[in-house]
Amino acid sequence: MPFKSTDENITGGKDFPDLYYEEDNLVSLTIDRQKVRVEKGMTILEAARWMGIKIPTLCYHEGLTPWGGCRLCVVEVIKRGRSKLEASCTYPVAEGIQVKTNSEKVQKTRRMIVELLISSCPNSRTLQDLASGMGITEIRFKMEDNDCILCGLCVRMCKEQMMSGGIGFINRGAKREVSTPFHKSSEICRGCGACMYICPVVTLQCRGRREPGDLCNACINVCPTDFGF
């Protein structure tokens, strides 16, 4: 994030984008037992990624406003001795906090979230890939074909990048869905297709699932490490 340095001798009064950081613009925290100092205003997800730590995400996209809807990016944040699960894509870094990105509690929660999402949209290849990556081989919930996990990526893409607003969330609770106003064809939709491009359910449907309740897991089987290489 660019900032204006106060040291005229060093910067000549110009904005320096990357290399110069003011001390009071930094916070110290611990992520996976590594002490780190990062810029104020960063999220835990950004700080972790900057350190090369992988945290899975679903409703987050670098080009869009973080929303914190899917909770897949959950991490354990320990503050004043108390631990809480938080969405790392919206939680700002803070002085002295400890973060665990892959604790048992975190893994268990993420697996539960993926299971719930797959039970809602079993043909999403993105979700099937996530399940395979986590070694999930069975879903404990009733399968439905809802074709939407309510991640909101399409809505934000339409509004923030396409400057449109052709679609949005309607209704609440179990009836919540993404739609055009009054389910009618939207006059402001430009037909750009960006909402479909970004949707984790529409893009690349998984072909591997056979019966309701089945998990594909083909991705697990073709993983080279499974052949003992």
**Chain contacts with ligand FES (rule: CB under 6 A):** 57-60, 68-73, 87, 89
* Footprint of ligand SF4 on 189-208 (CB under 6 A): 189-195, 198-202
How far is residue 160 from each of residues 41, 66, 151, 155, 164, measured CA to CA in Å? Answer: 20, 12, 15, 8, 8
Contact status, residue 164 vs residue 156, Cβ threshold 8 Å: no
Tell me which of 150, 170, 218, 219 binds ligand SF4, using CB under 6 A.
Answer: 150
Find, among 211, 72, 213, 209, the residue nearest to 140 by Cα: 213
Contact status, residue 63 vs residue 49, Cβ threshold 8 Å: no
Binding site partner of 112, from ligand FES, ligand SF4, none, Cβ cut-off 5-8 A by kind: none
Binding site partner of 87, from ligand SF4, ligand FES, none, Cβ cut-off 5-8 A by kind: ligand FES
Residue 170 binds ligand SF4, judged by CB under 6 A? no
* Footprint of ligand SF4 on 68-127 (CB under 6 A): none
Residue 151 binds ligand SF4, judged by CB under 6 A? yes
Binding site partner of 29, from ligand SF4, ligand FES, none, Cβ cut-off 5-8 A by kind: none
Smallest distance from ligand SF4 to CB 172, Å: 15
Smallest distance from ligand FES to CB 79, Å: 19
Smallest distance from ligand SF4 to CB 157, Å: 6
Judging by DSSP bridges, how do beta strands 34-39 and 82-87 pair with one another?
A: unpaired
Would you say 73 or 206 has its CB closer to ligand FES?
A: 73
Q: Binding residues for ligand SF4, per CB under 6 A? A: 148-154, 157-158, 162, 164, 166-167, 178, 189-195, 198-202
